[in-house]
Amino acid sequence: MAPQAEDNSQKTIPPHAGTSSPISNGKQKAKRVELPNWMLWLIVPLIIVLLNVVDHQRKAEQAQPKPRVVAAAPAKPTQAELTQQKAEADKENLRPITEALEALSAIKPKECADAPDVCLSLLNGFATTLQTAQGNDLPAEGKEQARKLHSQLASLQVKVMPIIRKSYVKLLGQKLWAHDVEVSINDKTLTLVGGVFAANANIQQTQEELYPLLRKLRFTKVYYKWSEAATRFTHYDITEAYPDTAVVAWDEYGNFTEVKGE
């Protein structure tokens, strides 16, 4: 066999021969880019200016007033609707007067003798209803009904007030019996007789306690005696007393108001 010729030409060895490639190993290092100083001095001021512009724009948007949402004005009611509303209001204002007239017609004088406190409260309730109704914008029919209520209430009071006074005096006598006090009535004059009234302090205290009730019952005079035969005694004239024909409303604070018939 003929000997092979030896190739004496120099073989080219590729770079990194026998070593692994950085790319194949996935460990290629990123190159760091360094900006020249003159470029940094140019970019930084531009960034600051840009931030200032953004901040100024944000403040301007916050300072700008928000648009107000104005609700649409409600449509004006028609004449027919106004008439209907007025009719409903008149009916509502008239209702208490109508109910009071019905309740007043059902009161019997004998019932006031058996329950004077209830009857007295009812009279005040009717007067208060009339007072409130007169403060409203009543139609012609309502004003006529109010006058009717006033007239009927005044007529009823003339009948029942003497009965109420006598019934109250009877109850008062039963209450003061244990204190040896006798109570009597003569029309609108109340007389209390008892040894406790020898002391002025007892007279004053009793008068102050009875005064609100005396006004409601429309007494005009009160006598305090320490004995039936006493020639010296104390009496009070209740000048604020109303006649039985007067329609009077009172409140829980002791304020009395006469309600006139309009």
Same-domain pairing of 208 and 251: yes
Same-domain pairing of 177 and 244: yes
**Mind listing the pLDDT tens digit for each residue in 88-134?**
776 777 788 888 899 998 888 888 999 999 999 999 999 999 998 88
Residue 139 confidence (pLDDT): 80
Higher pLDDT, 36 or 231: 231
Domain total of the chain: 2
Q: Pick the last residue of a domain from 161, 190, 221.
A: 161
Residue 71 covered by a domain: no
Identity of residue 175: K
Helix, strand counts (H, E) of the chain: 7, 6
Domain that holds residue 109: 90-161
Same-domain pairing of 156 and 229: no
Residue 199 covered by a domain: yes
Same-domain pairing of 174 and 225: yes
- 3-state DSSP assignment of residue 140: helix
Residue 8 covered by a domain: no
Same-domain pairing of 145 and 168: no
Same-domain pairing of 137 and 204: no
- DSSP conformation class of 44: H
**Mind listing the pLDDT tens digit for each residue in 200-259?**
999 999 999 999 999 999 999 999 999 999 889 999 999 999 999 999 999 999 899 999
Q: Pick the last residue of a domain from 107, 139, 161.
A: 161
Higher pLDDT, 143 or 211: 211
pTM exceeds 0.95: no
Residue 73 covered by a domain: no
Residue 3 covered by a domain: no
Structure tokens that stand for 140 in this block: 């012609």
Burial letters 194-224, b for 16+ CB under 10 A, else e: bebbeeeebbeebbeebbeebbbbbbbbbbb
Question: Is 56's pLDDT higher than 70?
Answer: no
Higher pLDDT, 260 or 61: 260
Residue 210 confidence (pLDDT): 95
Rounded Cα–Cα distance for residues 124 and 104 (Å): 12
Residue 226 covered by a domain: yes
Element (H, E) at 200: helix 200-217
Question: Is 15's pLDDT higher than 90?
Answer: no
Residue 218 confidence (pLDDT): 96
Residue 2 confidence (pLDDT): 44
Question: Is 140's pLDDT higher than 60?
Answer: yes
Same-domain pairing of 138 and 210: no
Same-domain pairing of 126 and 169: no
Residue 58 confidence (pLDDT): 72
Q: Pick the last residue of a domain from 126, 145, 161.
A: 161
Question: Is 145's pLDDT higher than 70?
Answer: yes
Residue 45 covered by a domain: no
Same-domain pairing of 110 and 180: no
**Mind listing the pLDDT tens digit for each residue in 149-204?**
999 999 999 999 999 999 999 999 999 999 999 999 999 999 999 999 999 999 99
Higher pLDDT, 57 or 122: 122
Same-domain pairing of 177 and 233: yes
Question: Is 7's pLDDT higher than 80?
Answer: no
Residue 172 covered by a domain: yes
Q: Which residues contact 35 (CB under 8 A, 6 or more apart)?
A: 43
- DSSP conformation class of 197: G
